[in-house]
Structure 1
Amino acid sequence: MFSHVFVGVGDFERAFAFYAPLMDALGSTLRFCDRTRPWAGWQSQPGPRPLFLIGAPYDRQAHVPGNGQMTAFLAPDRATVDRVWHAALARGGTPQGAPGLRPEYHEHYYAAYFNDPDGNKICVVCHDPA
């Protein structure tokens, strides 16, 4: 359904250092990194799409996170949700909801929410039973 998701960032090196270990924990492979533009993209498995991309906005204007926008990553299990949450907070992420069940969505919805260092809201979710 999705080709790619692009998340704008203000400080590419900080964002890359933040997202690289999260993408690794989620099993996504770095497909490219061009620091001259700057932007980078990870592909999901088995690939080649969808892609998750970070970079400076194309119009070269300052990045501003949008209210009500969120990118949610699918985790294979609840332990991965926990690992990504802790990795995000250790790298400067701001907590927006600790890992746990959200039965208001459905009985097995296990997710964690955080903002990246640029203020973009991120979710990591597993929909499977424990």
Structure 2
Amino acid sequence: MLDHIGLPVADLARSRAFYEAALEPLGYSVVMEVSPEETGGAGHVGLGAGAKPDFWLSSGGALGGRLHVAFAAPSRAVVDAFHAAALVAGGTDNGAPGLRVHYHPNYWAAFVLDPDGHNVEAVCHIPDIADC
């Protein structure tokens, strides 16, 4: 069971602004911050869909490669809203909202690249009501 994930970023303020906007449709917001003074090193921003942060951004530089992270969405409309919000926040389109039937018949997802080039996805596995 996954408890949380951390993502190193090149510019913590820029990534914080991007993720706050992009993940807002999914119910995520900043729920905790830890300063470099508190850690003696990197600064951290924890986002979550409730009181517990489960998605962390950390200063100190991006990874050498691209990380992929997928957030569960409760509906296809929320996937669409995530994609739109992420693009407005400065993300780069990496796959418009739509079905990805090569995964399974109800895999509705959208992909964006964040400011560090990480591949961020929102996905809904629930069939569209119109399809029922």
- Map residues 1-130 of structure 1 onto 2, 5 A cutoff: 1-36=1-36, 37-45=42-50, 48=52, 51-57=54-60, 62-67=61-66, 69-130=67-128
* Structure 2 contact 5–56 (Cα < 8 Å) conserved: yes
Q: Structure 1 stretches of 5 or more lacking a match?
A: none
TM-score (norm: length of structure 2) = 0.84
Q: TM-score, normalization: structure 1?
A: 0.85
| Superposed structure 1 runs of 4+ greater than 4 Å apart | none
Q: Looking at secondary structure, tell me which structure has more helix per residue.
A: 2
Quote the RMSD (CA, aligned, Å): 1.7
Indicate the percent of aligned positions where both proteins have the same amino acid: 37
CA contact (8 A) 2:24 2:82 kept: no
**Deviation at residue 5 of structure 1 after TM alignment:** 0.8
Q: Report the CA distance between 1:65 and its aligned residue.
A: 4.7
Q: Aligned AA for 2:57?
A: I
Alignment partners' CA distance in 1, 2:64 and 2:94: 15
| Structure 2 Cα separation of the partners of residues 22 and 114 of structure 1 | 9
Per mean C-alpha deviation after superposition, the further-off stretch among 88-97 and 18-27 is: 18-27
Task: Say how many residue pairs are matched.
Answer: 123
